[in-house]
A and B are shown apart, each in its own frame.
Chain A
Amino acid sequence: MIRQAGPSVWKAHSPLPGFSLSLGFTLAYLSLFVLIPLAALAIRPWENGLDSVITAVVSPRAQAALRLSFIAAAVAAVVNAVMGGLLAWVLTRYDFPGKRLADAVIDLPFALPTAVAGIALTALYAQNGPIGGLLAPLGIKIAYTPIGVVVAMIFVGLPFVVRSIQPVLQDLDQEVEAAAETLGASPFQTAIRITLPALLPALLSGVGLAFARGVGEYGSVIFIAGNMPLRSEIAPLLIVTQLEQFNYAGAATIGLAMLCLSFLILLSFNGLQTALARRGA
């Protein structure tokens, strides 16, 4: 990360040599692999004029799909923040048999092809599946509803949160927690006032990543969502639908809308994180 050193950002005041070379490399690399493809996306929607862009984004179906994608991703990210935080805590602070194995399992959602994950989750949560079958008599349906979308997003987002927090938890000085305890803090107070603030920047970055992954997730969600327009149709599916009609501009329009929203959200996450890091430092 580049530490901004006052107003003279462009002058190499860093004691390390090679600043201009590395900055040049960074910008070239970012352009080649991120900015140029995104710019290609950004120029595509305007083929049929501004009107058709606006219509495509404000249509009830697009609105419903965007809402589902972003809200489901947010819910999944919050669940992952809590449960992922807990998992990371257990994995760093306790010793138990099979711990290494449990630790390795956390990464599996990264490695699994998303379609496989989607099919497996659907098989589990469908009304004739082992979990879905238990919930069906209670009137709870998960597969083919927006809840199914959240479940798939929790699955793919979990490793981001756990892996972001784990190293920080490991490096956290446990003596500080012990000191808080000797000064009369309850375990709850210690967790909230000592541990959590130290973890917060890492937690936020993990949650941001999990959220972003959820918003863009297609492969696993598509199998479990049910894909009913206005109800369980995610925004990436709408993009695929447009492509099936050879409507490249329409597809790019929704893509661009998602990109802008995600960028704004990630930017505010980053801002929050920087502010927290400053305050902590």
Chain B
Amino acid sequence: MTLGGCARSKGAETALLNVSYDPTREFYRAYNEAFLARWRAGGGAPFAVEQSHGGSGKQARAVIDGLPGDVVTLALASDIDEIAARGLIAADWQTRLPNNASPYTSTIVFLVRKGNPKGIRDWPDLLKPGVEVITPNPKTSGGARWNYLAAWADALRRPGGTEQSAQAFVSDLFRRVPVLDTGARGSTTTFVQRGIGDVLLAWENEAFLAARELGPDQVDIVTPPFSILAEPPVAVVDKVVDHKGTRDRAQAYLAQLYDEPAQVLAAEHYYRPRDPAVAARFIDRFPHLTLADISDFGGWSAAQKRHFADGGVFDQIYQPGRRP
């Protein structure tokens, strides 16, 4: 695919393309409207914002392969690192915006059957006899990698927790997974619509969406006392904005994500806001919990290599003769 847009209208040519992942669709639709209104009110020339959504890794590959996204707003820093590794984004992208370039955060929570019949409140409860766990495959799903790392971090922080006990915990956990979907949305469907499993490990925002839209009378959200801080990062794609001459508006688009109105929008769409004042207003929705974060694993590239690369710790769970 080329960047040529000769057949396009002038407006489309200068439109801003936000390449994002699946569950942000509704949030960015609302944000685009607010951003453009503010942009016009400030005397800026009108333009359009287009959105592209898909699995985070797939979207990163699309940008690598030539999709002319001005900004990427993905699920994992490692996906943006892959784009940066191919020279499309400056290597220091994560320090160009506050909070590791993540304007909102999320975490991993449990979605259980209505009334929580298996009494699942904390990570060790997932290994109770007869509990079936639903999670997507960490090899194909960014969200599932957070599930896996949260479980690992929890096992590690227990008294007497070691790397070995953490590995044993996640191995036992994944042996209780009857269906490994490729993405977070697929797992939600398996759990809610197909009625498989007792607990779904899910993004907090996805869990709210499932509870509200798919089955308010079927499922409950359980926030465990401990989980992991997921930081979905954003970055300007330098090669693209320099080619299209859209750097100013792309930078403004990302910078304003940190402003109060955008933070409120994020909270309304079930993302945890960074702004402490906004977070305080939504404390009922987002109960406080202790969070591990990716630096506990030495950053994404170290975690990726050790746990999720071919032959890594996760692959060792599924070895011939060690069937779940």
Contacts and interface: CB of A to CB of B under 8 A. Distances in A.
Given A122-B194, A127-B196, A244 B57 contact: yes
14 contacts: A127-B195, A222-B182, A226-B180, A228-B178, A228-B180, A228-B318, A229-B180, A231-B323, A243-B58, A244-B55, A244-B58, A245-B309, A246-B60, A246-B64
Contacts of A128: 194-195
Interface in A17-64: 60-61, 64
A250 interface: yes
Contact of B139 (A60, A129, A226, A241): A241
Contacts of B57: 243-246
Contacts of A247: 310
Contacts of B82: 246
B194 A126 contact: yes
Q: Nearest 5 pairs between A and B by C-beta?
A: A229-B318, A128-B195, A126-B194, A244-B57, A227-B180
A160 interface: no
Interface string A233-246: 00001001101111
Contact of A228 (B61, B140, B324): B324
A119 B189 CA distance: 10
A91 B160 CA distance: 70
A143 B60 CA distance: 32
B179 interface: yes
B216 interface: no
A64 B318 CA distance: 12
User: Interface range on chain B: under 10, 10 to 19, 20 to 34, or 35 or more?
Assistant: 20 to 34
B27 interface: no
A40 to B, nearest CB: 13
Contacts of B177: 228
A72 to B, nearest CB: 17
A211 interface: no
A240 B140 contact: yes
B11 interface: no
Chain A CB within 10 Å, residue with most, of B182, B309, B319, B323: B182
A129 B193 CA distance: 10
Interface of A: 60-61, 64, 119, 122-123, 126-129, 143-144, 222-223, 226-231, 237, 240-241, 243-247, 250
A60 B315 CA distance: 11
A246 B59 CA distance: 11
A230 B175 CA distance: 13
Chain B CB within 10 Å, residue with most, of A60, A129, A143, A244: A244
B179 A226 contact: yes
Contacts of A129: 194
A183 to B, nearest CB: 57
Nearest to B60: A246
A144 B194 CA distance: 11
Chain A CB within 10 Å, residue with most, of B310, B320, B323, B324: B310
B308 A226 contact: no
Contacts of B178: 144, 226, 228
B186 interface: yes
A246 B61 contact: yes
Contacts of A237: 140, 182
Interface string B119-160: 000000000000000000101100000000000000000000
A126 B196 contact: yes
Given A226-B179, A231-B323, A243-B61, A250 B310 contact: yes
B208 to A, nearest CB: 23
A29 B309 CA distance: 40
A244 B182 CA distance: 10
Contact of A123 (B180, B193, B315): B193
B231 interface: no
Interface in B189-227: 189, 193-196
B181 interface: yes
Contacts of A123: 193-194
A54 to B, nearest CB: 14
